[in-house]
């Protein structure tokens, strides 16, 4: 109990930052929902193409011309990275690998892998999917860790250090992909799985036969939940022994239909999610064509921003102000995109045991969708341990559940049979 209390205290301390940053860390769910409303507008008066991020100047991140000749998970490039004081006694590598976007096309994605000095060969490998609120490649963990703005990773560093101190290798995939497609949850799942494949295909990392755990909360939880659901068909060869997913927005369309169109202090995240989904689905999610001149100007202002810039530029705006039409929810293709990124509606069932946690009530995510998804998994024979953590808000739930999530994965790595509280 002493160790668990200490871990909880470390994690809680790490995320005591300003209200603006706190909102920015978990409002991807709200952003996705309002983005769907914006994408449903019709009768555009201004035509515009998707706005992609400025290419990263580091050639390591470039998309190779021959990528179609590779297979998912193939290593394209890798390099050692400088050590970071944030993670003592740890060696860091970066890997570029082949993955697949939401429309089935080959892409090159990136991940970091952190190797603690005290690990053993083929010891546990944890893939940790960060919460990322950003539209620029510099917002991704592999970039943010080596810049002056480490907000994206600092708040979750205590949990990662606990994993490293246990001797686990830790992967940090850039799960928004090469176009920073903020909001594309299924994409995040595919990149997560291909990152694990790539790590295990590099023999010098000594992780080829490692048991795999995956974890993430909120936006990172979406990538984690999708990875777990996709794994049996997308990457069946991976030995995933446990998954910890918390506060997962499991039905984006249901969230969208429950939201209004009034000005909001974190509207920038809604706009960012719309921009990210348009990048991933340019033909079916053409939100730029639905914006007026003011909307396009705001889009341009945030298109290469991370959390703080996106929140600052978008604060107090609304869909009504920026849209060229008030005909909501009339684009069926846009709503299909929402369905395709809602893990509740995906028929696949994880074969790895799941630890899932959330609050009994959560203003940001539909809890009934979590319950429905867990019940469907249970009915299909999955082993799920679902836990409630009463808390005042979405972010506090992350703090309360993190020690239990790490302990759950520790037991799976030890080979202890997974518990389940599925209804009998």
Domain ranges across the chain: 2-19+73-252+347-413
Q: CA-CA distance, 376 to 423, in Å (whole number)?
A: 11
* Beta bridge partner(s), residue 243: 214, 354
Specify the CATH class of 2-19+73-252+347-413 in words.
alpha beta
Any bridge partners for residue 114, and if so which?
A: 92, 170
Tokens of 310: 């996106």
Query: Alpha-carbon distance 217 to 198, whole Å?
Result: 23
Helices (DSSP H) in 140-261: which residue ranges? Answer: 141-144, 151-154, 157-165, 185-200, 219-234, 252-257
In this structure, what token pair is assigned to residue 294?
Answer: 């003011």
Strands 90-100, 106-116: pairing is antiparallel
Q: Tens digit of pLDDT per residue, the chain (424 long)?
A: 444 444 444 434 443 333 333 343 344 545 555 556 565 554 444 457 899 999 999 999 999 999 999 999 999 999 999 999 999 999 999 999 999 999 999 999 999 999 999 999 999 999 999 988 899 999 999 999 998 765 656 678 899 999 999 999 999 999 999 999 998 999 999 999 999 999 999 999 999 999 999 999 999 999 999 999 999 999 999 999 999 999 999 988 787 666 667 787 878 888 898 899 999 999 898 888 888 999 999 999 999 999 889 989 989 888 888 888 654 346 777 888 989 999 999 999 999 999 999 999 887 788 999 999 999 999 999 999 999 999 888 888 998 999 999 999 999 999 999 999 998 7
In the structure encoding, which two tokens stand for residue 40, read together? 């449903």
Judging by DSSP bridges, how do beta strands 90-100 and 75-81 pair with one another? antiparallel
DSSP 8-class letter at 99? E
Backbone phi, then psi, for 212, in 5-degree steps? -115, 135
Angle between helix axes 332-340 and 28-39 (nearest 10 degrees) is 160
Tokens of 24: 């920015």
Q: Is 74 helix (H, G, I), strand (E, B) or coil?
A: coil
Tokens representing residue 384 in the block: 């799920």
d(CA 4, CA 9): 9
Count of C-beta atoms within a 10 Å radius of residue 150: 15
């Amino acid at each position: 109990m002493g160790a668990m209390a200490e871990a909880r205290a470390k994690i809680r301390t790490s995320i005591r930052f300003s209200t603006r940053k706190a909102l920015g860390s978990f409002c991807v769910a709200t952003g996705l929902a309002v983005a769907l409303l914006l994408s449903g507008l019709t009768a555009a008066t201004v035509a515009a193409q998707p706005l992609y991020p400025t290419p990263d100047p580091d050639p390591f991140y470039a998309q190779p011309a021959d990528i179609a000749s590779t297979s998912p998970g193939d290593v394209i490039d890798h390099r050692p990275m400088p050590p970071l004081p944030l993670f003592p006694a740890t060696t860091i590598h970066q890997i570029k690998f082949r993955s697949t976007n939401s429309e089935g096309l080959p892409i090159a994605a990136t991940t970091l892998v952190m190797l603690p000095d005290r690990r053993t060969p083929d010891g546990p490998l944890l893939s940790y999917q960060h919460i990322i609120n950003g539209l620029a490649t510099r917002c991704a963990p592999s970039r943010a860790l080596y810049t002056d703005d480490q907000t994206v990773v600092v708040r979750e560093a205590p949990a990662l250090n606990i994993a490293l101190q246990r001797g686990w290798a830790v992967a940090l995939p850039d799960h928004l992909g090469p176009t920073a497609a903020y909001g594309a949850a299924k994409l995040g799942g595919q990149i997560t799985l291909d990152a694990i494949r790539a790590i295990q295909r590099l023999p010098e990392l000594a992780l080829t036969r490692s048991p795999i755990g995956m974890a993430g909360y909120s936006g990172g939880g979406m990538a984690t939940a999708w990875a777990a659901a996709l794994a049996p068909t997308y990457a069946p060869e991976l030995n995933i022994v446990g998954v910890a997913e918390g506060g997962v927005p499991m039905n984006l369309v249901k969230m969208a239909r429950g939201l209004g169109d009034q000005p909001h202090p974190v509207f920038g995240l809604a706009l960012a999610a719309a921009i990210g989904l348009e990048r991933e689905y340019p033909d079916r999610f053409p939100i730029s064509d639905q914006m007026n001149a003011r909307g396009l100007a705001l889009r341009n202002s945030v298109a290469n921003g991370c959390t703080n810039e996106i929140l600052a530029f978008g604060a107090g705006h609304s869909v009504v102000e920026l849209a060229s039409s008030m005909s909501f929810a009339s684009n069926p293709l846009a709503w299909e995109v929402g369905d395709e990124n809602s893990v509740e509606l995906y028929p696949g069932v994880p074969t790895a045991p799941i630890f899932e946690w959330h609050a009994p009530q959560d203003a940001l995510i539909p809890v009934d969708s979590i319950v429905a998804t867990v019940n469907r998994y249970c009915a299909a024979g999955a082993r799920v341990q679902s836990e409630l953590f009463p808390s005042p808000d979405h972010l506090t739930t992350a703090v309360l559940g993190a020690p239990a999530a790490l302990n759950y994965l520790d037991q799976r790595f030890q080979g202890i049979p997974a518990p389940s509280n599925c209804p009998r």
